[in-house]
Amino acid sequence: MIELGVNIDHVATVRQARRTYEPDPVWAAVEAHLGGADGITVHLREDRRHIQDDDVRRLRELVHVKLNLEMAATDEMVGIACALKPEMAMLVPEGRHEVTTEGGLDVRGQRARLREVVARLAGAGIGVSVFIDAELPQVEAAARIGAQVCEIHTGPYAHAFHSAGRDATSAPVLAELARIAGAGEAIRAAGMRFNAGHALNYVNVQPVAALPGVRELHIGHAIVSRAVFVGLREAVREMKRLMREGAARAPVAGG
């Protein structure tokens, strides 16, 4: 059954805007869990713009679903992950001037370094995911460095969906879905888990949830935005329902 990982970074963004103690990301994690989240995702950035070290420590101690730590492949972040031991560490590109992650990690161009990082994390008992664009050379490189999971960057799909009038049958949207599906097939053929995420929301999520073999979607901004109006628990519940409806229409995945 398809799973939902809820990214709660933007709860911390609101807190950091006032440099205060609320809203608390741990409270958000509990509410997300009660709404049906299968996991909690946070990105501990090098500049600490939203999630802070103490947030991750408290989440590791208190969250009862799996914790996915998004991180750059730096010695500092690897050390933090190895000490805290989240269930999953997701390696992502990181730029100081970007608003959010703007593209997939170039695994192919950093194979030697990333192979070392994956080995260190795996040695600490942490599963490793890589956030990549829907490109077959990146999938092949991910398999070579020992990643267990590939999360496909769905930003181009979401952009096409929005630009094409929210029409899931338009040619640009279908082309992006085909790219994601092709990458997913290659991921599963290589023995890795196929996840997806970035810019998914309540109107564009179902076609991605319906792709063959997709196991987990990571969604943050849309859920936190909806929570302003309906509460976080209900926002997660609504997203999980849409995902399950989409997945129920998926063809049976081979392999």
Contact 10, 224 (CB under 8 A): yes
The active-site residue out of 3, 31, 70, 94 is 70
DSSP string, 61-107: HH-SSEEEEEE-S-HHHHHHHHHH--SEEEE----TT-SS--S---T
Q: Length of the chain, please?
A: 255
218 in catalytic set: no
The active-site residue out of 3, 31, 33, 43 is 43
102 in catalytic set: no
**Strand, coil or helix: what is 195?**
strand
The active-site residue out of 185, 198, 216, 218 is 198
Largest CA distance in the chain: 50
User: What residues contact residue 57 under an 8 Å CB cut-off, 6+ apart?
Assistant: 84
User: What residues contact residue 54 under an 8 Å CB cut-off, 6+ apart?
Assistant: none
CA distance 79 to 209: 34
Instruction: Give burial (CB, 10 Å; 0-12/13-18/19+) of 22.
Output: exposed
Neighbours of 151 (CB within 10 A): 32
43 in catalytic set: yes
User: What residues contact residue 191 under an 8 Å CB cut-off, 6+ apart?
Assistant: 143
CA distance 149 to 27: 28
Catalytic residue numbers read: 43, 70, 198
